[in-house]
Amino acid sequence: MPKRGRKRKDSPERIARERLEVLDDLGQVIAILPRGLIHQQRLRHRAVHIFLFDSRGRLYLQKRAQTKDENPGLWDSSAAGHVEPGEPPTVAARRELQEELGLVCNLEEVLHLEPSPETGWEFVTLFVGFTSREPKPDPLEVEKGRFVSPEELERLLLQRPEEFTTTLKILWRLFSERKKRNSNKRRVPSDYS
């Protein structure tokens, strides 16, 4: 089976020609077209995002390389990328984590976003993973990265929201709300649930 993912020497032009699935409103595949055309025409397609936490509960953020065609130089999820034709989102998430940060770890699917202008018309699947290893960012993908506490991220999002991708801001809000709901459920005695 051929290895999935981009080769290190892929040019922006070759990346734009990368073929992805186009989806209808319900997430069903209706075509396979070049990535550049999909982005240009704002067609629905699939993507994965990964929130990678360390043992101290800090989230790894990546600053996207300046050469990226979307959101260059903005802070984003730990790793993210498109789902290739026929590829399950779980496989895409593992591939992106390996390509962008040189890491392999268990990933849990935690939530989904519907396509919208804010997400670049992507059906987004968010995965969460934990690592004790230091990420090794690929300079073709990531300008730099660092771990931040949830409190620091909240502060940065309030003080400098323009430095972050819209998708990260939406995913973090939904992830945080879900985490709070789940922790509140555990506090309710079983007699009252």
pLDDT band at 9 (very low <50, low <70, confident <90, very high): very low
Let me know if residue 25 belongs to a domain: yes
Task: Count the alpha carbons within 13 Å of 80 in the hemisphere toward its beta carbon.
Answer: 29
pLDDT for position 92:
98
Domain hosting 96: range is 18-183
* 123-132 pLDDT per residue, tens: 999 999 999 9
pLDDT for position 179:
86
pLDDT for position 16:
59
At a CB cut-off of 8 Å and minimum separation 6, what does 62 contact?
75, 76, 77, 78, 79, 100, 101, 137, 141, 142, 143, 144, 145
The count of other CB atoms within 10 Å of the CB of residue 62 is: 26
Could you give the maximum distance between any two Cα atoms of the chain, in Å?
60
Across the range 177-182, mean pLDDT stands at: 86
Measure the CA–CA gap between 189 and 119, rounded to whole angstroms: 38
Let me know if residue 33 belongs to a domain: yes
**Mean per-residue pLDDT over the chain, rounded:** 89
At a CB cut-off of 8 Å and minimum separation 6, what does 57 contact?
149, 150
Let me know if residue 193 belongs to a domain: no
pLDDT band at 10 (very low <50, low <70, confident <90, very high): low
Is 33 or 186 the better-scoring residue by pLDDT? 33
Q: Is the predicted pLDDT of residue 190 greater than 70, yes or no?
A: no
CATH number of the domain enclosing 113:
3.90.79.10
pLDDT for position 78:
98
Let me know if residue 189 belongs to a domain: no
pLDDT band at 32 (very low <50, low <70, confident <90, very high): very high
Task: Give the tokens for residue 60.
Answer: 């790894």
pLDDT for position 2:
40
Let me know if residue 72 belongs to a domain: yes
Number of domains in the chain: 1
**Residue with the two structure tokens 């396509």:** 115
The count of other CB atoms within 10 Å of the CB of residue 152 is: 14
* 68-86 pLDDT per residue, tens: 888 999 999 999 999 999 9
Measure the CA–CA gap between 54 and 131, rounded to whole angstroms: 5
